[in-house]
Amino acid sequence: MFAQVFDVDVDDGASEAELRDVVERCERLKSVAAAAQARATAVWAAQRRAAEEAAGVPVARRGRGLASEVALARRDAPVCGNTHVGVAQALVHEMPHTLAALEAGVLSEYRAVVIVKASACLSVGHRRALDAELCADTTELAGWGNARVEAEAKAITARLDVAAVVERNAKAVGDRCVWTRPAPEGMVYVTALLPLAQGVGVYAALKRQADLTGDGRGRLQIMADTLYERVTGRPAEAPVPVALNLVLADTTLFGGDDCPGWAAGYGPVPAAVARHLVSEAVADENAKATLRRLYRHPTSGQLVALESKSRLFPTGLAAFLGLRDQTCRTPYCNAPIRHHDHARPYRDGGPTSALNGLGACAACNYAKEAPGWTVTTTERHGRHTAAFRTTTGAVYHSTAPPLPGPPVRQWVHHTDQPITIDMVALKHAC
């Protein structure tokens, strides 16, 4: 089947009908590949369990690191690994009709995952009943979009086990959280996951305030400003008083170029926006602005190294790792840094240094402690690289990003003289 499906050629002179056929075959190919990927993942998990059981690994430690290995093999963030493994095992061992529909190209991978997640609270027997009712007759799925598939799966789940659905909803309250992600044009999305009543109440309060306010601003602008003012207790037009690490080149700060800066927890910031943030903080007597000089390598653009012999990363070195790595250093993971970690463990003689140090999220830091995992770091021409070797022997690399600023310049008068290093300014408003 794979040999036949992979025979896809795109002819620039093909008719629209022929091109549509290529698109359809490629979509079926993605579903077939997703099904094969699920089968391989389930077998991989079973082999790992058997090997660890034979080796006498304690039950609580079995499978540690496997989810991250699966995610890395899929070029995905390690945090997604548990979902990949769980979905694969559910499809292979408990939901044969859904897996068959995926293999046939009737379901996309996303819709198969939706069905698995909707049935996650059910017992194995009830999940198999849902699987048969929803996916045994694949002709019924024709024309269904994502919302229809999810709605049908949830309806069957609720009918099979009301108590399980109620219990899942009660547990979901514990998942309430707030997170941010970058938006275009120097904006940011702030998203809150709240219980139904609280979430609706927040939105209703913002709408009510917008109805009572008429000052030339748009309705949505009033709602956004009201949210900020009620959370921070400050007017929306006032500079932000909370700590903000903003890294930018000195030439950008003083208007010499328009290279973007970089804000911790956000990402690239346009030069004009960065200068505006700095000028606002400097002009406001209620906001403190400090300037710290950093230096980047003349060829790689990365921060220069620091050394320390202490067991824990000192505050300055920890801050250095956070600024150098920006996000978790595990390949494909873009989670915020929570731990300042030793690549080579301290217990094995690993030094507490910038070279041996890595910024990591909590999940990735724990995952690399699994048997068979090793992490080694190197620095060449100013490029700090970490190599992650997993239990199966696969090796994945990550390199620290360069600091923001104009292209690095090398001013060399003689071959034996040092290279000039660009200065980078860190504005820290607190």
In this predicted model, what pLDDT tens digit does every residue of 280-297 receive, in sequence order? 766 666 655 665 566 666
Give the residue among 326, 341, 337 at the shortest CA–CA distance from 388: 341
- pLDDT for 404 equals 73
Q: List C-alpha distances in Å: 177 to 51, 82, 193, 195, 267.
A: 38, 20, 5, 10, 21
**Burial class for 17, CB neighbours closer than 10 Å (0-12, 13-18, 19+):** exposed
pLDDT band at 303 (very low <50, low <70, confident <90, very high): low
Q: How confident is the model over 121-136, as a mean pLDDT?
A: 96
Gap between the Cα atoms of 425 and 430, Å rounded: 16
Mean pLDDT along residues 236-247: 64
Q: What is the pLDDT of residues 145-184, one digit of tens each?
A: 999 999 999 999 999 999 988 888 888 888 899 988 888 7
Burial class of 268 by CB neighbour count within 10 A (0 to 12, 13 to 18, 19+):
middle
- Rounded average pLDDT over 235-259: 68
Q: Which of 59-63, 283-287, 322-326, 355-359 has the lowest mean pLDDT?
A: 283-287
- Give the helix/strand (H/E) hosting 177: strand 177-183
CA 253 to chain centre: 30
For 324-375, the DSSP string reads HH-S--STT--PPP-EEEESS-GGGT--SBTTTEEEE-HHHHHHTTSTT-EE
Write down the mean pLDDT value for the chain: 82
What is the reported pLDDT for 116? 97
Which range among 8-22, 255-269, 323-337, 346-360 shows the weakest confidence by mean pLDDT? 255-269
pTM (predicted TM-score): 0.69
pLDDT at 111: 96
| Type of residue found at 280 | E
What is d(CA 343, CA 339) in angstroms, rounded to the nearest whole number?
Answer: 12
Average pLDDT over residues 415-430: 39
Give residue 319's pLDDT band: very low, low, confident or very high (50, 70, 90): confident
Percent composition of the chain: helix, strand, coil (DSSP 3-state, to 5) = 45, 15, 35
How far, in Å, CA of 97 to CA of 367, rounded?
A: 33
- Amino acid code (one letter) for 271: A
Q: What is the pLDDT of residues 65-90, one digit of tens each?
A: 999 999 999 999 988 999 999 999 99
Instruction: Return the axis-axis angle of helices 66-73 and 16-54, rounded to nearest 10°.
Output: 160
pLDDT of residue 20: 92
Q: How far apart are CA 422 and CA 301, in angstroms?
A: 9
Percent residues over pLDDT 70 in the chain: 79
Q: List the one residue out of 118, 122, 123, 43 whose CA is nearest residue 85.
A: 43
Report yes or no: 424 and 248 within 8 Å, Cβ to Cβ. Answer: yes
Structure tokens at 68: 């991250």
Quick one: pLDDT at residue 418?
A: 41
Give the residue from 308, 332, 279, 273 showing the smallest Cα distance to 70: 332
